[in-house]
Chain A
Amino acid sequence: MNLLSHLRDIWNVSCIEFRRIFSDGGVVLLFCIATLLYPFIFGAVYSGEMVRNLPIAVVDESHCEESQRFIRKLDATPEMNVCYDCNTLQEAQTLMRMRKINGIVYFPADYGNRLAHLETARASLFCDMSSFLYYRSVLSGASAVLLDEIQHIETDRFGRTGITGENAEQLVEPIPYDDVKLYISNGGFGSFLIPALLILVLHQTLFLGMGILYGTSREQNLSVESIPIHLRGRSVFRVVIGRALTYFAIYVPMTAIVLLLFPRLFQLPHIGNISSLVLFLIPFLLATIFFCMTICNFVRARDTGVVVCIFFSVILVFLSGAVWPQAAMPKFWLYFSYIFPSTHGIQGFIRINSMGADLSQVKFEYLMLWAQAGVYFVTATSIFRTLCRHKSVKGSDIHADGLNPEA
């Protein structure tokens, strides 16, 4: 009987919360539309995955066969196109300043001579550093050509000394290495960043939506009044559970679309086991909901809620360790990042979804999320209870407002 009344209370609170959410256009916009809109925009923006065909200029002062071969190979790389053949370095630098090119390869006049004399020839590469990906593409393209060219010339040189065939091969590369780029073989930017952003979208829309909802009800003095009077004391946990269930119910389909359907739709990495993913996402959603409830209890006005939540969006991407490795983070910020469910959510999701890890391999994140769910449930309940007590001390204004607590 007691349990039944608990369940009825929880159900009632859920219904009230549900109505509250769907009567606020801004919250619906965030919960339902923004959650689906962001992934599509990210999917479209990063669909190219790689930075290819960057225009570069070459300055060939040696005009030898080797430099020309080098240039032809540069042009053949997927990363760059040789668009300008300049006479002087200055000319190429002017092109760089005019932002026509993203890199310059320079062969000095003695390039061919040095090679002919079996010495080390020097060439120079100038990279546009205005974006990390320009630098990465130009450098990786040029390095690949450099390695190939070194092997070509070495084979030739050994041939002149009488070392040919298998012997030459053995000498040119005595310990060949195979490089295997695991999980995202093309090194695509979208495949790397979008999984982290997807978790963040869920986290932040929930955070922002709840911030707005709580802020609005505080503004209108409804945060406590909107719940039945008998639940404002010791039984306040039923309110927290009831409300959490509402958000959970709304976010389960959203999460399924964003995290399960979306990666398959946009050809992003999705080698994870679905049951591991589902088991992992349950504590993530709970931890996020209770975390947002805890923080949002401090939001006094709608405007403050938005500012606080939005402000954290950018910082959370970096705290998650998806961009800047956790191993290289200052210890203080690493521990600070453990406060947020998004950190563990992103780490766990990337590993399960993109790397095929199972639950035991994300044990730390999984347990942290459950711990967060527990801790934030307690904090959300106790803070809300304090709010209720605070209200009941000033209880007279409930009647002064003329509000029906059961409404």
Chain B
Amino acid sequence: MNRFAQSLHLELRHIKKRPRYLILTTLGIVFSYVFFLTFMSEGQPERLPIAVVDHDASYLSRRLCHEINATQGVEVVAVYNNHSQARQAMQRQEIFAFLEIPKGTYSDILSFKRPHIALYANNTYLLGGSFTYKSLATISRLASGAVQREILRKKGYTDQAISGMIQPIELDTHTLSNPTANYQPYILTTMLPGIIGLMTLLMSVFVIHNELKRSPTGRLREMRDYPISSIWGQLFPYTFWFSLLMIMGNVVLFGFFHFTLLGSFWTLVIASVLFIVALQSMAVFLVGLLPDMHIAVCIGAIYGTLAFTMSGFSFPVCSMPSYMQGFSAIFPLRHYYLTCSEVAYFDSPAVQYLPHLVVLLAFTAMSFVGMMLIRKQINNRVSCLQ
């Protein structure tokens, strides 16, 4: 314990002497919270630009434009005369989708012919494409409904009978734990902790490597003989600081921004601390594995950024090829994401999230492997010095 305190004290002195790194990373983390929370503040993209290709130029087409503009999701920014103009506008990224109304649509409706309208959505932009598509498809169906209603009225049906006729089924959609289908909670509850994790990983690699580089032989011997207390003592200020940042980050997300949290906040606190410790353990392992600091940092950066893809919060792991599914387990962010979604969205029983916490804890074992490798490195160094 004494050695732990000594190492801790030593590292605190280092931090006091050169606080630049810690301040820089903290500022970076604060910036990313501010960035993401202000960037997607709408929750869902609104007023996305679309166009109408109006070959008909009738009462109906103008009415459709008004109806479209009355919806929240999309806005008609242009009315074109032909298809290629609209397509070019799409390629210039001025619109995400367009509705094409062929010539004679209105008169066709009046004479009971079925005019076909077409809607084109740009799928190269996932959110823009799918939101505009959804809005336009709804409008098209509503237009059909309006015509049906008119025809049935003419046939002498009452309004109540009509609504039963033209809408036989209603499907209430319940978006569990995210009633407004807000895009922020999907992204931010995992991405922001991921950024903190990335910083923790890189910072820990620097710190241990620097310590190995600059320490006198006496301190090196101590690290060799008592690796656990000296290395964890040295890492402890960072464990504390980054865990604190993560917990405060979660307070901001779930407290101030009211993202749904059905389960206990304390479970998230435990997950956060374990997540930071897991990444530090991976850092110790990386340092042990790669004695060259430059290479260790680069590999750390590659490993750390891949975590965002492999955690599965954007593209579900179950849809990845099976060999990649196994690969995802070596990223602590994956286990944090699973814990967080179970606790926050579902308030799952402990049986569900405990395994993830245990895996996070198991990452600590990597630090012991790392320490063994570091001991070997120190042995080589010390024998060289002697």
Contact = CB atoms under 8 A, between A and B. Distances in A.
Contacts of B125: 192, 322, 325, 350
Contacts of A34: 298, 302
Given A135-B175, A307-B21, A356 B169 contact: no
Binding site secondary structure of chain A: helix
Contact of A134 (B32, B105, B310, B316): B316
Interface stretch (B115-123, B268-276, B371-379): B115-123
Given A25-B294, A327-B49, A351-B91, A187 B123 contact: yes
Contacts, number: 332
A62 interface: no
B168 interface: yes
Binding site secondary structure of chain B: helix
A136 interface: yes
Contact of B28 (A29, A129, A132, A311): A311
B124 A310 contact: no
B214 interface: no
Interface stretch (B4-12, B137-145, B280-288, B357-365): B137-145
Contacts of A124: 171-174
Contacts of A30: 298
Which of B20, B129, B161, B177 neighbours the largest number of chain A CB atoms within 10 Å of its CB?
Answer: B129
A324 B40 contact: yes
B341 A130 contact: yes
Q: How large is the interface on A (under 10, 10 to 19, 20 to 34, 35 or more residues)?
A: 35 or more
A190 B314 CA distance: 11
B232 interface: no
B123 A182 contact: yes
B176 A129 contact: yes
Nearest to B125: A325
A47 B321 contact: yes
Which of B141, B165, B191, B347 neighbours the largest number of chain A CB atoms within 10 Å of its CB?
Answer: B165
Contacts of B127: 323-325
Contact of B148 (A45, A143, A174): A174
A328 B48 contact: yes
Interface in B145-165: 147-148, 151-152, 161, 163-165
5 contacts: A41-B309, A48-B319, A120-B164, A125-B171, A189-B126
Given A154-B168, A185-B123, 7 more contacts: A45-B321, A51-B318, A121-B169, A121-B170, A180-B121, A189-B315, A304-B24
Interface of A: 24-26, 29-30, 34, 37-38, 41-42, 44-48, 50-52, 96-99, 115, 117-136, 139, 142-143, 146-147, 149-150, 153-154, 157-158, 167, 169-185, 187, 189-193, 195, 208, 212, 216, 269, 302-304, 306-308, 310-311, 313-315, 318, 322-330, 333, 347, 350-351, 354-357, 361-362
Please list the 10 inter-chain residue pairs (A to B) with the smallest Cβ-Cβ separation, ordered nearest first.
A328-B45, A26-B294, A174-B147, A357-B91, A130-B341, A325-B128, A153-B168, A129-B178, A184-B123, A177-B140
